[in-house]
Amino acid sequence: MKRLIPFAIIVIVLGAGLAVALYLKSSMQKSVAAIPSGSPEPGATPGAGVPGAEPAHARGPANAPVTLEEFADLQCSACGAIYPLLKSVENEYGPKLRVIFREYPLTPPHEHAVQAAHAAEAAGLQGKFWEMHDILYENQTAWAEIFDVRPIFEDYARRIGLDVERFKKDQTNEIVETRIFLDGRRGHSLGVKATPTIFLDGNEIPFDQVTPAGLRAVINKALNPTGP
């Protein structure tokens, strides 16, 4: 009987691993709905696109003279690299700038991108989207290569003061799914193909200009279009 115990343990471990793998596969399949494919939406307004999730996740006053809209993937390393730059710009321009974040998870190549988007949106249902957004980016290298990110995201939820049981349930909430889909549809209608893609007042900023000097230049020009 004792000889069977190691084999039983192996079977249990393999079963648990299979269950986790099936969960992750299911989450990744949901990403197909998050990023529409094919031709741009027929209802899209040229240069403006179709609406995304409302209310949008935004920081800064609604009547700010300049609006920056970012389409990003929370597992994308390039998005993680510009995260501190965007926060610095937000702090620098204060009430002159409104920043909007749009979910644009790309799977593949980012196997946890959709789960991260679900985590952020579930936190948003408790009024703490930005807190989860920030902690995911600030710790991106700690979870990006982990097989099962669920316990890590639940730990982040505890750290930012969420009701963790509600957070766990809300990750599969229809509202969460719909918000991710609508942001993806908006990005598609605007021609977004990669992350991060940033628009300033509806005009895409070339990625090579997403630098401290480049962002300041386009924001200052938008604030003072006539120039000196």
Helix H or strand E encompassing 24:
helix 4-34
- Which SS3 state, helix, strand or coil, does residue 95 take? helix
Residue 19 token pair: 């269950």
Within-domain flag for 208:
yes
CATH number at residue 30: 3.40.30.10
- Which phi and psi angles does 66 have, rounded to 5°? -130, 135
Within-domain flag for 126:
yes
State the total domains in the chain. Answer: 1
Contact assessment for residue 187 and residue 197, using Cβ atoms and an 8 Å cutoff? yes
Q: What parts of the chain have a pLDDT lower than 70?
A: 1-47, 227-228
**Cα distances (Å, whole numbers) of residue 80 to 42, 135, 141, 147, 220:** 33, 11, 9, 19, 24
Within-domain flag for 210:
yes
23-74 confidence digits (pLDDT tens) = 333 443 443 334 444 445 544 444 589 999 999 999 999 999 999 999 999 9
Within-domain flag for 33:
yes
Within-domain flag for 197:
yes
Within-domain flag for 228:
no
Within-domain flag for 72:
yes
pTM of this structure: 0.80
Domain of 86, in residue numbers: 4-223
